[in-house]
Structures are given as C-alpha cells and as structure tokens.
Amino acid sequence: MVEKAQARAESENPIRIMPRSTRSTEGNKTGSWRYLRPRYEEKTAPCSAACPAGEDIGKVEMLTSQGLFKEAWETILRENPFPGVCGRVCFHPCEGSCNRGEFDDPIAIRAVERFLADTAERYDLKPLLERLPARPEKIAVAGAGPSGLAAAWFLTQLGYACDVFEASPEAGGILRWGIPLYRLPLAALQHEIARIEAQGVRIHTGRPVTPGFLRDLETSYSAVYLACGHGRTTALRVPGEELDGVGDGLAFLERIRRGETPDVRGMSVIIGGGNTAVDVARSIVRLGGEALILYRRRRKDMPAFGDEVQMALEEGVKLEELVAPERIEKDGGRIRITLRHMRIAGEEGGRGRIEPDGDRTSRVVAERLFKATGAEAGEAWYNPPPAGKGTVALSHCALSLREGRPALARGGDLTNGIKSVAHAIASGKQAAIALDTLFREGADSILSRLEACTVGVGPSLSMEIHMGGERRLRNRHVVVYGEINTDYFRYAPRMTQPRLVRAERARSFAEIDLRVSGNIAMREAERCFNCGLCDQCDNCHLFCPDLAVLRGKEGLGRSINYDYCKGCGLCVVECPRNAMTLEEEDR
Amino acid sequence: MKRVLEGSQAVAEAVRLARVQVVSAYPITPQTHIVEFLSEYCASGTMNARFLRVESEHSCMAALIGAQSAGVRTFTATSGQGLALMHELLHWAAGARLPIVMAEVNRALAPGWNIWVDQTDSLAQRDTGWIQFYCEDGQEVIDTTLQAYRLAESVALPAMVVLDAFFLSHTYEPVDVPEQEEADRFLPPYEARFQLDTAAPCSFGPLVPPAVYMEMRHDIAKAMETALSRFPGIENEYAAVFGRRYGVVEAIRCEDAEIVFVTSGTVTSTARSLLENLRSRGERLGILKIRLFRPFPVEAVRRALGGAAKVAVIDRNFSFGASGIFAQEVRAALCNAPGHPPVFGFVAGIGGRDVTPELLEEIYWKTKNSDAPEKESVWIGLQEV
C-alpha cells in the first residue's frame, strides 16, 4: 500500500521543483559584506591592574578552576615570588576591584592564592619558569625582606647573579620578625625563601649594610638595590615616651618571633591603629595579658585590616577610639597615660579629620605601653635623596644613576607611600626591570620600558610582559562590569574561609586561617568572570551564523575566517568575558 | 475501544497511534493539555518519540521543519498567539512541502487576553498553504488527526486539525480509540520524498529565481487540488477499517431545505438540535457543516446550497473591514453559480461567548424574515455597552 500510495502521489501530484543545493556554500564569500570586524583581543582584568605586584589573577583563577594548580601557581610566580605570604597577609586590593563584586561577591582571590601555595608546598612542586641567558653584571641587594628578595628573584630570572645582604641572622625582614605566627607561619615563609635561593639567589645573613660596606659593594657589583625597610618605630613626640615601661611595638613582635615569651601580665596599652598595633595587642592576649588599643581616629579609619580588628576584638582586645596620648608618666611601678579626646571635624582622604574635643582628657593606668604608630628607616642615609641630580623617582622605587659609579636603586618601605608586602614586591620588580633595561638598552630606555610593562593604567608592572610573554599581547583596557555578559554566569556565594575557633586562637599562635580543599578552591575560582580573557568557552563558535569561527588544533585557540565572517558581531556580544573586540573595517 | 476522553487527549491518542517520532512544543499558555499528554507518553515510553521543549512557537515550528526534513513524522499543538508567532514558518513548512501535522485549538487573540474559542487565529493562516480541518467532536478529532497524516503525506503539504477551545479541547466525551494495528493498517510509516542525508549532504530551500519560483507555487496550488480530489478515497480507506466517514462537508437535510445554515466546529452540534426543533415545527432548516476549509470544497458547497432559498453563514471569527470569513468563502464559491441563493452572514460567539439554540433560532428568523441581507455580516448577541 505504501508503494501504491507513493506512486500514485508522484503521478498525480508531482513535486516538480524542490530547490536543493549539494554544493558547498563556501563559494559565497560572505566576508565581502562585512563592515565591522570582530577579532580576538584579550583585555586587562581589574584585579590584575589593582594588584601592586601585577599578578595575572584572571588567568590564575582560570587555571585553578581547570584543576591546573601547578600552572596557576607558576603564573603567580612569574609576577610575585611570595604566593604563600601574599596568600595570607596581603591586603588584597584585587578583591576590592573585582567585577564580580557588582554581581554578588568578589572572588576570594587571596584564599585561592594561599591554596595554590599550600598545594605547591605539600607536593614540593618545583616551578618551571622562563629564564633569560646569563648576563655579565652582578647585582647586590641590601635587605632580605620582601622587596629585596623579590628584586633578587626577578633579577636572577633576567640572567643576573645576585647577592643579598641581610643584617639579621635570618632572611625575611618584616615577614620573619614583624608578622605574628598566627598570620604567617614560619614554614610558609621558609618555603618561599628556600625557593628563591633554589633559583640561584645567594643570601648572606648577619651582614648589615653600612656606608663603608656599601662602598665595597660598589667596587665589585654593577648595581646595588637598597631595601632595608622601615625597621624603627616612629616616636610619639609625647613627654615621657622614653620612660621605662614604654616599649616599641615592632621590637616586641620581634622578641616573640625570636622565641622569647615576654612578661605581659596585667594591662598593656598600645598606641596606634595599624596592623602592627593590632598584632601587638593580639600577641599580648595570646601570651595571657590584657590589651587596650588607643587610636586617635575611629575604628573605621584604622589602617589595620578590618577582619583583623574584628578578630582582635573577639579575642578580647579592647579598643578606645578618638583618644591621643598627651603625656606619659610613672605611677608607682606602672605607667599613667593622659589622653586627649578627639572629635571628627570632617572627612579627608577617605578617613576622619580630627581635632581636639575641647579640653576633654582622661587617664589610663597600665603596666606598660607599646608604641605602634608607624615606622621609619633605621638610618637616615637609607632614605632616597630628593629627585633630580641623578635620582629618578619612579612609582615604586628611586633610581640614582651616578657618573662612574654603579647604579643605586632604593625601594620597599624606603620609597613606598603604602607600606605593604605587595608594594614592597612591586618595588623589587620595578627596580629589576629598570636595572635590566639600563644594562641592555641604556638609561634612556628605562621609562619607555616601564611604560610598556604596565598592567592596565598602572602603576602595576608585569615581569611576564618585560620578558616577552604572551601577556604583552593584551589590550591595556581594564574591563568594567558592564562589559561582562552576565547572562552566562549564575549567582554563587563566595567561599567562607575556615578559621580556628575563637577560644582556640586566643591562647595559641597557631595559624588562624585553615587550609581549604581543592574542590572549594576550584569552585571559588570557577566564580571568576576571567575578565577580558578567553577560556575557550566556544560561545563565539556556537553563535556564529556563518561557521566562521575556527578552532585550532586539539581544540585550542580560536580564529576567525574572514572569508565568511559577515561582521554581525554576535560573537563579540555573546563573549561572556569581553575577550573579543569589534572594530570598523578598514575600507 | 471506547473511552471517555477530553478532546485534547483524543488528539494525543491519535498522535500516539500515528507513531509520530518528533513532538515539539512550547508549553506555556495558550498551550493545551495535548502536549501535556504527549510529553507524558514520550517520558513513559508509551511513545517512541523525542519531545523537544523549545523556547517559542516560532522555534517549535523551526524544529519540526528540521525534523521532518530529516525524514520523520512530526507533530505539534498550539493556539491563538502561539499560532500567530509561528506564521513565518507556516509558509516555510508548506513551501518546503513538509507534511507536518498540527493540532490548533481555536483561541481568541489578545488584547484583551482571552483564551476562549474564536476561529480568527487559524483563519488568519488560511493563505499559508496548510490543509485545514475543523472538527465537531472528540471522535472526529481522533479520526481527523489520523486522516490528516495520510492526506498531508500523500500530497506533501502540512495539515492543521482545528478544534474549539474548551467546548471541544476540554470536554470529555466517549471516544472510540482505534487499536494500534488498525491505525497502522490505515497509516503506513512516513517516507519522505526528499530528505536530509548526512551521507549525501545538501541544503534545502536556497535562492530560487523568478524563472522557477512561480512553478513551485503552482505545484502547491495543484497539490491543494489533489488533496481535495484524493480525500474521499482516503476516507473510504478509513471507513473500511473503522466504519466512520465525515466527508469534506456534511450536508444535513439540505435536499428540501428552505434555509441552510453553514457552520463549522462545535456550533454544528447546537445547530443540529435546533434543526430537530424547527423541523418538528414545520420549518425547513438544513445545515452544511464545513469540515475541510483548505482546500475549500467549492463544488460540494455549491451542490449542497444550490437548492436552498437562503443561506445563513455562522462565523465565529471576523475579518475586520470585510465580514465573517466563512461567509466570504461561501459567497466566493457561489457567485459564479447561476441562480445561487443570497448569503446572509452572521457573526456570533466571538471570544468564547456561548452560541445557544436561542441565538441560532434568532438567526433563523432574521434570515427567514429578510428578503435580502442587510449587510455582509450581522453581529448577533451584542450587548448594550
């Protein structure tokens, strides 16, 4: 019956014409219709531009989300030799600039960095990094803190032999002596320093740099990088601060890090609002004492990390705001501090401007007092000379080029407005790029070279760009939230950092932030928009109506077949990450 | 086997019996239970078919065009706004000669939103090249759907089985559901005349120049003629298996009728009861139920109406600026027949309003008491506003 019906249908009702084409449509080169031209062009993620060390964070998160932990860790190391340190103590401006923050919550970038460092430590990973051929110049570095070690690390990768001279018996600087163990365990630091030494950096401890020693160095090295830090606590400029019982906050932390257990019975008063003040107070609580922080502005104005202040208060540290010490006196065996009360008289530079609150004063009596209002260079000559006369002030360091003498660069706390580990690393990197350019191309090329290595609008710099890596191909445009196609992302809560319980942390120096597992880190990294970066999601390929998006060998890399691309721009619109650009066609 | 089925399920049962291989649908209002039943049949394995839930009726028809081009039997159901959204692709399906079958539940178009019966949605698609059947009850729905596949596939044109919202789609009636073997005997597996083949790639529907396009369209016109001439034979085959026959039109006591109502859909059943009533009072009413609307059965209409003194067309639809659409078609069919009766057009039951026996009787007396139509269509049952 089927055949019969079919045959009848054909005879009575033929379909005489059915337009079909067996030829490929490739003959029709629709690319000639195009007046807009899409192209792959990676851009700059805001996190990477906000990171003083210029870490390629979008790529780090992408690799982490793919489980490529070693590659992710190496990506950090190209820009920062201290992922284990910065993954713990960095003030993470990256997270503040994260576009995801406008969607739900920023990526926990610091926690992912810490996870990668932990993973590398756990499996004793050895990084495989690009390294330039050896150079004849030798470079001396004074100070084995984060800035000096970073400079030596980068200079070694650039082919220079580096010697680091450190006054203390151990390397690490502020990381070794100034940050309490509950924030930065010794092993984490030692692991990073060991890796820096394994790259070929020679660290000479117990070798303070004096003016005489500096002259000696200048005879045998082609350049010197001075990064001795701010090791001396700033004076309060208050009568009585020289009295017995008035101590130096940094020195106190250093005693603990040397292994001592200072007597902190009774009440200790700490003057200051930075991380050092909070570290001193929390250390006192851990040693069994009571701690009271006195700060002349409000809690929200404190330069210390908000999280740290919150935890300090939870652990029993007391805080009194809007008081400034006026006079320090002996009161029997104790210390009596007269406080002048302050009030807020407006806002300036993002924090309260203060003035005395009439004549109001009060007194506090304590067993001892610690000064923690800031620090300065241990020796005046460490400080850079004023700019001009052979000294160039760069964004993160000062470079002195003197006729007939080796170049002298200064960096770290000696030159940075913000005294952070990340900024110290940025100084080391900038000094390394500047010196490398000086030796290879001459002094005149330094500024243009630094400009070429800038991440986004700066001042962060990229060593990968300086060394000719793929990152140099990125557009410097910093991707904004409106350029992300959020249709392709779903809301997901930010990971919660697991921590020691309060009772536990108030009586030990054990690290507070606990390790996180690989799947938590991967899930967190997956939240990342990877702003401006191609993760080969293939939206362009799927949406192209002309099959003009080609995939490279083994599925890697995408390109556009301009013979057929009509320039409709769908690929650019559907790119979730702004890794493509649509431009007018040149005609 | 006799079962009590909702009209929607009668469609679904016919689709199951037709061994449809791809069902595509957009599941939101104005969709009906039809695809709800089918999705369950597909999920449970009662039907060996892919159910494609798409993002719009436009995509739905596009998906069926793709599936049917690949050589399988397909189905969808829609209504009202959904059908309107399909419009562009209705032309494509017919032009590509794809015998897709669709159940179209007549619902009024918005605004204001109205999900009740009104034929304007399907009649607005009368020029798309789709065969259209209008059904009166649940049994006719199941039988027509099976016949629609036979007819559509034999002339390579798509077909629409149209049923009234609620009065038919949501009404439970006893329905004789064929056995699968019987259905298979009537409806052989689908064999595409042109089909996508990955072994011999080709594209369908490329650019066609004026020198060829007109012939393609003429082929479709011819296929519609063939559908009209072939349908009685298909119905004979159907009757041979199932013993039921409806015709392209059904003329009810038209031989001696003075006035003939032209009806479609469920209004016909109401008219049947009025007919009994009026006949018992000596009035000579006849009914011409139009079942096949595209192709329009001109000859059958002329034959059935030729002897009447007056014709009253009851339209549950309206073409703004003209008249009821069935009335237009009937007038067009009659105008070249010498001595044809005058055609009175009445518009009733728009947007789901009841068409009661009383309303139909009003139409009867209006027709009987007028010498000539006062206008092309008279709206019946309007309220004072």
Domain ranges of chain B: 2-242, 251-379
- A-chain CB neighbours of B207 within 8 Å are 19
Residue A10 inside a domain? The answer is no
**Span A286-319, pLDDT tens digits:** 999 999 999 999 999 999 988 899 999 999 999 9
Residue A186 sits in a domain whose CATH number is 3.50.50.60
CB A58 within 8 A of CB A106: no
Report the candidate in A163, A148, A150 with the shortest Cα–Cα distance to residue A201. A163
- B-chain CB neighbours of A15 within 8 Å are 97, 156, 193-194, 219, 223
Which has the higher per-residue pLDDT, A458 or A169? A169
CATH of domain B2-242: 3.40.50.970
Q: Is the pLDDT of residue A6 over 60?
A: no
Which of A2, A13, A19 minimises the CB distance to B191? A2
A292 lies in the same domain as A343: yes
Decide whether B2-242 matches B251-379 in CATH topology: yes
A114 lies in the same domain as A157: no
**Span A146-159, pLDDT tens digits:** 999 999 999 999 99
Question: How many angstroms separate the Cα of B14 from the Cα of each of A266, B2, B37, B138, B161?
Answer: 91, 14, 11, 11, 11
Residues of B near A (Cβ–Cβ under 8 Å) read 97, 154-156, 188-189, 191, 193-194, 200-208, 212, 215-216, 219, 222-223, 226, 230
Question: Closest-CA residue in chain B for A25?
Answer: B203
E strands, A229-317, are: 232-233, 246-248, 267-271, 290-294
Q: Which two tokens stand for residue A48?
A: 């990477």
**Span B69-82, pLDDT tens digits:** 999 999 999 999 99
- B-chain CB neighbours of A20 within 8 Å are 194, 202-204, 206
Q: Give me the CATH topology for the region B251-379.
A: Rossmann fold (3.40.50)
- Can you tell me the distance from the alpha carbon of A280 to that of A273, in angstroms, rounded to the nearest whole number? 11
**Span A245-264, pLDDT tens digits:** 899 999 999 999 999 999 99
Report the candidate in B314, B351, B293, B353 with the shortest Cα–Cα distance to residue B120. B351
DSSP letter string, A317-385: -EEE-SEEEEEEEEETTEEEEEEEEEEEEEEETTEEEEEEEEEEEEEEEESEEEE-S-EE-SSGGGSPP
What would the mean pLDDT of B10-39 be, rounded to a whole number?
96
**pTM of the predicted model as reported, rounded to 2 decimal places:** 0.76
Strand partners, B4: B174
A238 lies in the same domain as A370: yes
Cross-chain residue pair B202–A9, CB shorter than 8 Å = no
- Can you tell me the distance from the alpha carbon of B162 to that of A424, in angstroms, rounded to the nearest whole number? 78
Residue A478 inside a domain? The answer is no
Cross-chain residue pair B97–A18, CB shorter than 8 Å = yes
A241 lies in the same domain as A343: yes
Cross-chain residue pair B200–A16, CB shorter than 8 Å = no
Question: Closest-CA residue in chain B for A8?
Answer: B154
CB A142 within 8 A of CB A148: yes
Residue A418 inside a domain? The answer is yes
The pLDDT value given to residue A21: 86
Residue A50 inside a domain? The answer is no
Cross-chain residue pair A22–B156, CB shorter than 8 Å = no
Pairing relation of β-strands A20-21 and A549-551?
Answer: unpaired
Q: With cut-offs at 50, 70 and 90, classify the pLDDT of residue B5.
A: very high
Cross-chain residue pair A13–B226, CB shorter than 8 Å = yes
- B-chain CB neighbours of A14 within 8 Å are 219
- A-chain CB neighbours of B212 within 8 Å are 17, 19
DSSP letter string, B224-237: HHHHHHHHHHHHHH
Average pLDDT in chain B: 96
**Span A9-18, pLDDT tens digits:** 555 566 777 8
A276 lies in the same domain as A348: yes
- A-chain CB neighbours of B204 within 8 Å are 18-20
- B-chain CB neighbours of A16 within 8 Å are 215, 219
The pLDDT value given to residue A26: 82
Q: With cut-offs at 50, 70 and 90, classify the pLDDT of residue A557.
A: confident
Q: Is the pLDDT of residue A508 over 80?
A: yes
State which residues form the domain around A98. 55-127+495-526
- Can you tell me the distance from the alpha carbon of A398 to that of A430, in angstroms, rounded to the nearest whole number? 10
A96 lies in the same domain as A155: no
Residue A479 inside a domain? The answer is no
Which of B194, B205, B222 minimises the CB distance to A13? B222
A413 lies in the same domain as A309: no
Domain count, chain A: 4
Q: Does ipTM come in above 0.95?
A: no
Q: Which of A533-537, B26-30, B172-176, B373-377 has the lowest mean pLDDT?
A: B26-30
- Can you tell me the distance from the alpha carbon of B207 to that of A21, in angstroms, rounded to the nearest whole number? 10
Residue A480 inside a domain? The answer is no
Instruction: Determine the distance in angstroms separating the CA of B43 from the nearest CA of chain A, rounded to an integer.
Output: 29
**Span B269-283, pLDDT tens digits:** 999 999 999 999 999
Cross-chain residue pair B215–A16, CB shorter than 8 Å = yes
Residue A428 inside a domain? The answer is yes
**Span A420-467, pLDDT tens digits:** 999 999 999 999 999 999 999 999 999 999 999 999 998 999 999 999
The pLDDT value given to residue A1: 42
A505 lies in the same domain as A416: no
User: Which of A352, A374, A396 marks a domain boundary?
Assistant: A374
Q: With cut-offs at 50, 70 and 90, classify the pLDDT of residue B382.
A: very high
Cross-chain residue pair B219–A1, CB shorter than 8 Å = no
**Span A29-65, pLDDT tens digits:** 999 999 999 999 999 999 999 999 999 999 999 999 9
